[in-house]
Structure 1
């Protein structure tokens, strides 16, 4: 950690604590009703007892549906930027496929290896980084959700499996308050329509219910030329309270059928200053001529479907539909309080789930001496005369089964000794996760453009055509192992135990978890034998490969322990301090397959056992404070967490990425990070403000190296803010912003400048049950890059650079009307 960063962090910490305590000392005692704040929310995620946030010895954030509505996230993953410690670009689009990092722990390959996404306390998928099945594909924030809780570090690793970094839990509205709404939202200047709805209440004195969901359709803000969003989700629950009015049984059901785009970037121009180590500092990023990534993408009517080669050697046509999911789940919760106050909690869910990943990844390659001709579109048959073409893959992954069964059973008992409370909680977690997929990565040639780019055909020097409708090879883009078919089964069992002591002055807790993961099934890649494929209507033969190699069979089991110890000191009713140390593990699941780490008998090699589990060490200390402002007319909350963590990871990357350009790389690295998480809120008159910041100094080095370098894709500072002002009963206006400082690119450590984007909203309610609203995202239309990209070319004389980046959406306006009812 450099000295400036270190001293700034210490100064911030001391100043924040002193200011917070001073506010609390100035505040008069206030009635319980005046203390309503985020800190009064009962934490149910990663917690052994029913404590509020200010009484919980861990870093936890609760974001309710109103806060999310005010923040106006542009994608599912951008919701997570409201939780300090979660580091995600939010630029991949509404379909998902984001790389979700936490607390400076970078994502070595893809997905969310240290973050578990839950719905009502159970994981949607067991592993956050399933290849072409990341956990953010399967969850959607809609009107059925009451709030999102985020627990970072600590108990995340002992109260959940595969979550040493964080748990993000979508908690449903259970109908505890009668009422609902229907909301219609339209894109202004682009084709997108969404209908949200919810209703809940009491069917009787002991039964309450809730149903909610949405339907969305359109071509999207980056006009694809055809419908790319076509999604629906309905979630419902019914709760029956038993005779003691505390015990209950709850039934939950979910149906989802979603199709959303996956944005893979755009070209850009910038200024590039070369550093002494050969890397570049990238500033002044702006749009590329003919392709402005703020309002265009490589989705195209000329590339909305393509042929894939199936296992039998036949051709099939698939739609380029982005990320699609189908899910049907049935769940049950039982909370039962026995006569001696022994409490049983059991959560169960069965899920039938499948989907597909159909995407045209964006690339940027110089044309050079290639002979390229437009294969379709208005210029079909003409020579392609641009400087660059898009040579990245068209990939189809059929996710035929990613269903699961999960059950989490706990027994807890509170013991009272000398006025103190000891809570003992024991549990057993079981989850079976299926992963059945077949991959089809095609080599492709495409026009580089943002307005319905065409496919390109390639010819050799003799004039022989080498492609069919722009496809140069079937299943062979990333080598023989990636023309694969997998049928995998993972079963995770985990007993766990926690002990919690609560006194008038402090709390102390400790918990431990023993995970065992059994792996079975098989994976098959290609033998490498090339098949000549004749395409009907094309006078050309295209090479292809199929998964016809020798099967890799899995038959192994891995066990590991996770633990955490923490404590909280109650300085006053409005100020608490906590400290915690923890070690959590995550199992390296399907990313072990086809990597040379599995023996012929299905067991792991020694290298495979070393890489099977990533263990994350974390240490944190924090303060939580609340108080009145302006003589009691308002109140604030403040939370600061200082943290340090490290882990070692061995990952296999089969596809082409900046850190593995040709695919098939084993990436062994060590990581360490330190920093702070800050969260604050202010309610004062009509003003409602919430803001957070994540400060990080993260470093990485390849295994065996002696020197550390900056970790990639982890900004030193990430921040968000949302503020709304109620002028009267009719008018509400709001602004929000999210941004970050510079970020280092994976593989090259080129440094990309930071950015900030702003949003705004206006709501008008002429009557109590009717509301009109207009919201704007990125209202200043910044060309903001949150995820560093790739330097394609630099003119050293002028320092002018051509880049491939992932910008946020440009200025996007929506208009809504909402009818509420009781």
Structure 2
């Protein structure tokens, strides 16, 4: 599967540059320059920024009948995000806890349309107008693994709903686009960021400018190494990323060719949760606080005694691998050709070939009573005692009341590379006093998803201070586990000892018409999506016994390998998305818009190993599933595409207040969708068993607000999202409150620039309560950050950032679980934001 991409990548990329083609994000060179000017000089464009993401590409925010927000790099740096997903909390309509850590693995919802299982099913992340991965919820390959904010990013722009459904694939909820500096303005900086009260160092750098007449370049990136804000006792964050581009402007002053490259080798911790104490009464969980001996704000279950594990690899051999969070290896080459024929015809092409691989290797957390393990059956014997397997108490009896018996996960992401090309030809024509813009495009992306999973059944002590592994013994003193592992590849059963190599080819012709009048514009667009699936998956076979220690042949442990049921994919699915919008220009400072959209997204690898693929490689029909025919046990056709219906009514305005300038965007929302997806975790499946299909209907209504205010040295940016979101499970008569979606989420960023002396910044992000699957309510909270930057010398700036200034235990409710509500206080589990930490930085600008 991979060979065909290698053989064609060079020729297709070259054709993509040479032929008259274009991208989904119609980024004109002037728009790139404007974005860079905003980032470089902090200029407030007051809704005059040209929208370049999933849009017409030649209209400003106030003239576009879509919900769109652009955040420049200075705002993001003031906000001090602790993870990629936490950046998205600055964007209205995007709902994510942002507590998964710098490695990623966040659930990113949008506009109250929840994430049924994991990942970002309705949100596409782009770099310079093209997606890094086609699907946002690839199992153990979520889209936030592959994109990192660094000094090369000028602006993060987000389009929610609307034209995201038709001008991008697999993104009916939103497109979030990282737009790069292009060297339109000469300059750059080097900044060293050093943890004051924790061990982590990051160096960010960028530089760009002219190489010759009509030839610009930009290059930058970051280096990072350390033990993270949670104080892991070994190097867990270890990353390098370098990105660059070079732009050749042609003699007409409008056409250009831009080449991109990226090289990244990253390793970052993903936070897997911690125990906590809380008050529990009348279904409400309040006063959430740290658990004795395991404070999730500053500790984790990553341990020097469990920083590696033995896995039974896909060749059937034992292999020792590190537990280092999420790692990525990426290289890509890309190109953007923009060509103008006269005054009214433009042709654009964006193309990229990426070589991507990586891994996910982490200790998950599950809090269980020790009594539930004693007396259980492990490897054919009854557990009578538990002893420390390593650490300072190695060999001693374990007598704690609670322990952690969750999985050690290692997934080998062998290949997640892709070839993507996006083409548009656009024309502008005068019709009386109006202008008609016609746009036709063609999108192509070939995505490989090749992985093998190794999910070991593990037992360790419940501690945030280098927890030791625990070995289990029977009454005769026979050891039943090895280094705390009681099973290889078998934690979630035969479903998840899987090996697969899948290919998905997405082709999509699309068209857009925009009729623009002095007082209004009308917008209609349509996209015809077709996805062809190929490749294979192999599930786990029968359980057998293995001896992990050659010196102890009598120590036999259960194992599963991927030698079970095989699925061969050979099917295609086609569907249509559309969007209609209208905008009324009440004045140059006020516009009102309305939009209706219906967008689809394809369920890719989550359709596999769930009884949805027939023996002949086709998707199973509902009739086949009911009859148990052709190897079918579940309907594959109906849920292969999830459709999202959205309706929007919005206002965009700007003006002057108290000598300063303000902008405001307010949008009323309503939406719904149905989703059927495979869930591997026992925590979400009925009866506590892993590997199930979850069918749900969702509906939501609410609003989103984004506002800015600038007055001299004062700058304010705020957003609020309200969602009344509900879920109806398959077979249920009624809708209930959707799990893990807050009614309110919000952020505020404020800074004051004291001339050439210093800049003081404050930011806050928070949310209201959420409910779990059982409708138990977890309270929300707010995290406040502070920053101070002092201009010590010309071009030299020193700074201090304080994250979580008030050291709140802000759980945000993402996947929070009630462990023991009968205890006083109750024991719960969840992932809080890191506690108060201080970082110093020094920046040299040039």
Q: TM-score range by the shorter chain?
A: over 0.9
- 1:620 partner SS: strand
Which residues of structure 2 form unaligned runs of 5+? 1-40, 375-384, 622-634
Match of 2:70 in 1: 62
Using the alignment, how far apart are the partners of 2:287 and 2:815 within structure 1? 14
Using the alignment, how far apart are the partners of 1:181 and 1:627 within structure 2? 34
Asked if residue 735 in structure 1 is aligned to residue 743 in structure 2, the reply is no
Using the alignment, how far apart are the partners of 1:134 and 1:264 within structure 2? 15
Using the alignment, how far apart are the partners of 2:327 and 2:147 within structure 1? 12
Asked if residue 626 in structure 1 is aligned to residue 654 in structure 2, the reply is yes
Kindly state the Cα deviation for residue 385 of structure 1 after the two structures are TM-superposed. Answer: 1.4
Match of 2:377 in 1: none
Match of 1:358 in 2: 361
The residue correspondences of 1:275-424 to structure 2 (distance < 5 A) are 280-339=283-342, 341-368=344-371, 370=374, 371-424=385-438
Using the alignment, how far apart are the partners of 2:550 and 2:115 within structure 1? 42
Match of 1:12 in 2: none
Match of 1:664 among 686, 691, 698: 691
Maintained 8 Å contact 2:351/2:420? yes
Match of 1:711 in 2: 738
* TM-score where L is the length of structure 1: 0.94
Match of 2:83 in 1: 75
CA shift in 2, pair 1:777/1:503, >3 Å: same
Asked if residue 515 in structure 1 is aligned to residue 518 in structure 2, the reply is no
- 1:80 partner SS: helix
Match of 2:720 in 1: 693
Using the alignment, how far apart are the partners of 1:35 and 1:325 within structure 2? 35
Using the alignment, how far apart are the partners of 2:46 and 2:479 within structure 1? 64
The residue correspondences of 1:174-573 to structure 2 (distance < 5 A) are 174-274=182-282, 280-339=283-342, 341-368=344-371, 370=374, 371-538=385-552, 540-573=555-588
Using the alignment, how far apart are the partners of 1:380 and 1:674 within structure 2? 55
Using the alignment, how far apart are the partners of 2:105 and 2:254 within structure 1? 40
Using the alignment, how far apart are the partners of 2:42 and 2:797 within structure 1? 27
Match of 2:97 among 54, 70, 89: 89
Using the alignment, how far apart are the partners of 1:338 and 1:71 within structure 2? 43
Kindly state the Cα deviation for residue 339 of structure 1 after the two structures are TM-superposed. Answer: 2.7
Kindly state the Cα deviation for residue 663 of structure 1 after the two structures are TM-superposed. Answer: 1.2
Using the alignment, how far apart are the partners of 1:84 and 1:659 within structure 2? 31
The residue correspondences of 1:641-660 to structure 2 (distance < 5 A) are 641-660=667-686
Maintained 8 Å contact 1:478/1:654? yes
The CA RMSD over aligned residues, in Å, is: 1.3
Maintained 8 Å contact 2:166/2:527? yes
Match of 1:808 in 2: 833
Kindly state the Cα deviation for residue 34 of structure 1 after the two structures are TM-superposed. Answer: 13
Match of 2:166 among 145, 153, 158: 158
Maintained 8 Å contact 2:42/2:74? no
- 1:747-793: CA deviation from partner (whole Å, max 9, x where unpaired): 21210001001010111002230100000110100011112411111
Match of 1:677 among 691, 704, 712: 704
Match of 2:797 in 1: 771
Maintained 8 Å contact 2:202/2:222? yes
Kindly state the Cα deviation for residue 728 of structure 1 after the two structures are TM-superposed. Answer: 2.4
Using the alignment, how far apart are the partners of 1:728 and 1:333 within structure 2? 39
Using the alignment, how far apart are the partners of 2:334 and 2:299 within structure 1? 40
Maintained 8 Å contact 1:37/1:637? no
Using the alignment, how far apart are the partners of 2:612 and 2:822 within structure 1? 43
Kindly state the Cα deviation for residue 36 of structure 1 after the two structures are TM-superposed. Answer: 4.0
Maintained 8 Å contact 1:785/1:807? yes
Using the alignment, how far apart are the partners of 1:659 and 1:778 within structure 2? 34
Kindly state the Cα deviation for residue 653 of structure 1 after the two structures are TM-superposed. Answer: 1.0
- 1:372 partner SS: strand
Match of 2:842 among 795, 812, 817: 817
Maintained 8 Å contact 2:344/2:429? no
Using the alignment, how far apart are the partners of 1:94 and 1:809 within structure 2? 11
Maintained 8 Å contact 2:482/2:548? no
Using the alignment, how far apart are the partners of 2:543 and 2:407 within structure 1? 20
- 2:547 partner SS: strand
- 1:462 partner SS: coil
- 1:608 partner SS: coil
Maintained 8 Å contact 1:535/1:541? no
Kindly state the Cα deviation for residue 443 of structure 1 after the two structures are TM-superposed. Answer: 0.2
Kindly state the Cα deviation for residue 659 of structure 1 after the two structures are TM-superposed. Answer: 4.2
Match of 1:582 in 2: 597
Q: Matched residue pairs, number?
A: 779
Kindly state the Cα deviation for residue 181 of structure 1 after the two structures are TM-superposed. Answer: 0.1
Kindly state the Cα deviation for residue 309 of structure 1 after the two structures are TM-superposed. Answer: 0.4
Kindly state the Cα deviation for residue 727 of structure 1 after the two structures are TM-superposed. Answer: 1.9
* TM-score where L is the length of structure 2: 0.91
Maintained 8 Å contact 2:543/2:558? no
Maintained 8 Å contact 1:187/1:814? yes
- 1:458-515: CA deviation from partner (whole Å, max 9, x where unpaired): 1123322110000000000001121000000000000000000111000110000000
- 1:183-215: CA deviation from partner (whole Å, max 9, x where unpaired): 000001111000000000111220111001000
Asked if residue 593 in structure 1 is aligned to residue 593 in structure 2, the reply is no
Using the alignment, how far apart are the partners of 1:422 and 1:49 within structure 2? 14
- 1:427-448: CA deviation from partner (whole Å, max 9, x where unpaired): 0000000011000000000111
Maintained 8 Å contact 1:482/1:655? no
Kindly state the Cα deviation for residue 664 of structure 1 after the two structures are TM-superposed. Answer: 1.3
- 2:452 partner SS: strand
Maintained 8 Å contact 2:46/2:654? no
Using the alignment, how far apart are the partners of 1:221 and 1:444 within structure 2? 25
Kindly state the Cα deviation for residue 38 of structure 1 after the two structures are TM-superposed. Answer: 4.4
Asked if residue 614 in structure 1 is aligned to residue 642 in structure 2, the reply is yes
- 2:87 partner SS: helix
Using the alignment, how far apart are the partners of 2:150 and 2:57 within structure 1? 28
Which residues of structure 1 form unaligned runs of 5+? 1-32, 275-279
Maintained 8 Å contact 2:318/2:548? no
CA shift in 2, pair 1:736/1:340, >3 Å: closer
Using the alignment, how far apart are the partners of 1:46 and 1:268 within structure 2? 42
Using the alignment, how far apart are the partners of 2:711 and 2:343 within structure 1? 45
Kindly state the Cα deviation for residue 722 of structure 1 after the two structures are TM-superposed. Answer: 0.4
Using the alignment, how far apart are the partners of 1:220 and 1:48 within structure 2? 41
- 2:525 partner SS: strand
Maintained 8 Å contact 2:596/2:646? yes
- 1:579 partner SS: strand
Asked if residue 121 in structure 1 is aligned to residue 129 in structure 2, the reply is yes
After TM superposition, the structure 1 stretch with the greater mean CA deviation from structure 2, 763-772 or 355-364, is: 763-772
Using the alignment, how far apart are the partners of 1:58 and 1:346 within structure 2? 23
CA shift in 2, pair 1:35/1:464, >3 Å: closer
Match of 1:757 among 783, 786, 805: 783
Maintained 8 Å contact 1:743/1:788? no
Match of 2:38 in 1: none
Match of 2:58 in 1: 50
Kindly state the Cα deviation for residue 740 of structure 1 after the two structures are TM-superposed. Answer: 0.4
CA shift in 2, pair 1:340/1:504, >3 Å: closer
